[in-house]
Amino acid sequence: MNRPTTPPAALLPWLLEQAIPLWTGAGWDDATGTVWEALDHDGRPCGDLNRRLRVQARQAYAFATLAHQPGTAPALAADLKARAETLFGFVMSRGFDPDTGNLASWLAPDLSILKAPHDLYDLSFVLLAAAGLTAAGTDLHDEIARLETALDRLAAPQGWHECAAHRLPRRQNPHMHLFEAMCALYRVTGAPRFAARASACRALLTQVFLQSDLRLLEFFDADLVPLTGADQQEEPGHLVEWIALETGWQGLDLPETEGPALPPAFMLFAAATAHLAPAGFLPDIAGQDSYRLWPQTELLRASRLLQSKGGALPTHLAPRAVLERLWSGYFDTPVPGGWYDRRDGTGRLLSTTMPASTFYHVVETFLCYDTGRLAGELTTGTSA
């Protein structure tokens, strides 16, 4: 198959015709009905790697989301939904430690549990997968209730703890993804409790995580006081990711959306893109010489959403310009449907694998690029 050296005008066909054959083919472990942690740059499974449970949940969400896109053929949609259900079923049946009830984080190559800290970040993605499957028509009422009970175990006076052992530092990132999951669950169920939890996460953004100078801080002590100096960092990709998530929140049209206002999206976008390298890429961590694929996808998604609101963007930050850089830097690979994960500021390739976890970012961003709206924006259904 010949691969395009420039990005296509529409990205859903690339997802369905190139990415899905790769990630449901080489990326799928037929023996266990799970997905591999990563492929190498020749598109072969890295079968000796330990696996993160969150990757199973992220692929379940990605497959379910693609299953209910209008451009997905019925046979493919049925296959993707079935795979998503299989992955989610694995998480729910094999992903909790039978002794502690904790959600696993790491699995050995034989899928036995290595670590089960009951991590908020991991749990957030299992909840997101539940939302994705609910949107695709799967009844997960009982499973969602079980996951909510698991989440309640992590409740803190402000927000949620990192894990069952209350690991420090506390982080912004898991709360961002919990916000994403709660918004997604509200969209597909209409249940007010999900909007209330999302509102609590957003309040932390406006009151704790986002500073008055628009720095989004990542690490905090037990009382959510920001760490300082070398113990603190900024990830510009998270700031542009919040632009997309806030767009989704505003689209819910709830009384809770009348909470503290965020600075305008264009201001957040300018603060994040102040960290751009000369080549036009966002670093993983501000001030470091590492440029992973996922922050570039979130930059593209934010750019496309801002464009859809009618705002003027600098030429080099317009969606097509961002996509062209993204494509030449990360998607021009020998493996159709694959990508490179990490480069340095000179463009030198640093990664040796393509992590399956990135597919979630790719699906979200590419669907948004085509439509100008979030992939998960659906009509609210009935309460769960």
**Cα–Cα distance between 81 and 68 in angstroms, integer?**
8
Distance, CA of 199 to chain centre = 19
pLDDT at 379 over 50: no
Q: Are 178 and 152 in contact (CB under 8 A)?
A: no
Q: Which of 124, 119, 197 is nearest to 159 (CA)?
A: 197
- Is residue 172 one of the residues assigned to a domain? yes
- The torsion defined by the Cα of 198, 202, 203 and 209, in degrees rounded to 10, comes to 140
Q: How many CB atoms lie within 10 A of CB 284?
A: 18
- Asked if residue 382 belongs to a domain, the reply is no
Q: Which residue segment(s) compose the domain that 251 sits in? A: 12-371
**In-domain check, residue 255:** yes
In the chain, how long is the greatest CA-to-CA distance?
Answer: 56
DSSP string covering 186-210, please? HHHH--HHHHHHHHHHHHHIIIIIB
Residue 113: enclosing H or E segment and its boundaries?
strand 113-115
Tokens (6 digits) for 305: 């959403």
Instruction: Give the CA distances from residue 152 to residues 159, 212, 222, 286, 314, in Å, rounded to whole numbers and listed in that order.
Output: 11, 31, 18, 33, 44
User: Is pLDDT of 3 > 70?
Assistant: no
Q: How far apart are CA 103 and CA 124, in angstroms?
A: 11
Residue 205 has pLDDT above 90, yes or no: yes
Percentage of residues of the chain with pLDDT beyond 90: 93
Residue 3 located in a structural domain: no
Which region among 3-17, 37-51, 294-308 has the lowest average model confidence (pLDDT)?
3-17
CATH code for the domain of 33? 1.50.10.10
Q: Using one digit for the tens of pLDDT, what is the confidence trace for 22-55?
A: 999 999 999 999 999 999 999 999 999 999 999 9
Residue 349: half-sphere exposure toward Cβ, Cα within 13 Å: 14
How far, in Å, CA of 328 to CA of 7, rounded? 8
| 314 band by pLDDT with thresholds 50, 70 and 90 | very high
pLDDT tens for 329-348 read 999 999 999 999 999 999 99
Q: Is residue 52 part of a domain?
A: yes
Please give the Cα distance from 39 to 22 (Å, whole number).
10
Confidence category of residue 376, pLDDT binned at 50, 70, 90 = confident
Beta bridge partners of 29: 34
- The crossing angle, in degrees rounded to 10, of helices 293-308 and 358-371 is 20
Kindly state whether residue 229 falls inside one of the protein's structural domains. yes
Average pLDDT over residues 77-94: 99
**Number of folded domains in the chain?**
1
Query: What DSSP line would sit under 213-240, residue for residue?
Result: TS-BB-EE-TT-PBP-GGG--B-HHHHH
Q: How would residue 179 be classed by pLDDT, with cut points 50, 70 and 90?
A: very high
Supply the mean pLDDT for the chain: 96
86: CB partners within 8 A, 6+ apart: 33
Residue 2 domain flag: no
